[in-house]
């Protein structure tokens, strides 16, 4: 069977916030629903969100580096073997700087609306609006300079021949439409920031009508000082995705579906 004809029998789950008619509709009675999805490989893409080589949050970067090596790299290999398109979505400025040939010919432009006023927009407000904004972060400028010189796709997850690179959600949608792709398997970072929030992320692409599946062990979020040990922010975001936006699976389940033995 060729890659284009292959079907991935993928074990997935979602979170059901309903109960059967004979069960009281109470939160303690909610549960996961497990289901197998027969995904045509030619209609499926692996979307890698912001799999970066560096970050200003050192503790987060250490977790992400481990996940990239142990989970995302095997996912990429399995997807390529199965005929699933691998799509790299590393943010517009990374594409522009390191993969300019992949920039869209007509990139999305921000709104030119003059309201709210320019100085009021964002969380770091200026001028007369400064009292409503946050205090400027001393590390912000240094982080931005570091990104200008160091930020790129992690070397071990670098694009290969046959992969695609996109800079924004409009470009991703156009690629998927041209290829007839309906199913998006997501991996990458950060779960509670870019994976859900980018215009090529889960919320936006769910809104466009695609079938969303997150590899829940191939992502990590940015945690809070009191959630790092349990990775609570990550787990809550995964549960939110399972409740509202689609399905989740695991790397091993994807490898099995792609006929690759886990750990091989």
Domain ranges for the chain? 3-104+143-257
Per-residue confidence band for 112, with pLDDT thresholds at 50, 70 and 90: confident
Q: Are 38 and 7 in contact (CB under 8 A)?
A: yes
Helices marked H in 55-133 — which ranges?
Answer: 58-67, 73-82, 92-98
Mean pLDDT of 33-40: 97
**Over pLDDT 90: what percentage of the chain?**
86
Q: Reduced to 3 states, what is the DSSP secondary structure of residue 219?
A: strand
When mean pLDDT is compared across 98-112, 171-185, 208-222, the lowest value belongs to 98-112
The alpha carbon dihedral of 123, 128, 131, 135 has a sign of positive
The pLDDT tens digits for 45-69 are 999 999 999 999 999 999 999 999 9
Q: Is CATH 3.40.50.300 what the domain over 3-104+143-257 is classified as, yes or no?
A: no
The predicted model scores a pTM of 0.93
Q: How confident is the model at residue 81 (pLDDT cuts 50, 70, 90)?
A: very high
């Amino acid at each position: 069977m060729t890659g284009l004809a292959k079907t991935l029998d993928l074990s997935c789950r979602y979170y059901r916030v309903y109960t059967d008619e004979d069960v009281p509709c109470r939160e303690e009675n909610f549960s996961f629903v497990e289901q197998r999805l027969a995904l045509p490989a030619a209609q499926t893409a692996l979307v890698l969100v912001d799999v970066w080589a560096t970050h200003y949050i050192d503790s987060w970067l250490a977790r992400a580096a481990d996940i990239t090596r142990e989970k995302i790299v095997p996912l990429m290999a399995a997807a390529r073997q199965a005929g699933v398109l691998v799509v790299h979505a590393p943010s517009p400025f990374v594409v522009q700087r390191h993969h300019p040939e992949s920039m869209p010919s007509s990139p999305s432009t921000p709104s030119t609306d003059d309201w709210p006023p320019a100085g009021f927009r964002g969380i770091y407000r200026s001028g007369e609006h400064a009292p409503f904004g946050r205090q400027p972060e001393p590390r912000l400028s240094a982080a931005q300079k570091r990104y200008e010189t160091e930020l790129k796709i992690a070397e071990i997850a670098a694009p290969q021949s046959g992969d695609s690179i996109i800079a924004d959600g409009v470009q991703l949608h156009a690629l998927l439409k041209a290829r007839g792709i309906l199913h998006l398997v997501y991996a990458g970072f950060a779960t509670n920031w870019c994976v859900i929030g980018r215009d090529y992320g889960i919320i936006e692409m769910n809104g466009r009508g695609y079938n969303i599946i997150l590899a829940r062990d191939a992502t990590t979020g940015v945690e809070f000082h009191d959630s790092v040990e349990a990775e609570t922010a990550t787990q809550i975001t995964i549960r939110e995705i399972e409740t509202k936006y689609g399905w989740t699976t695991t790397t091993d389940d994807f490898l099995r579906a792609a006929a690759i033995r886990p750990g091989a």
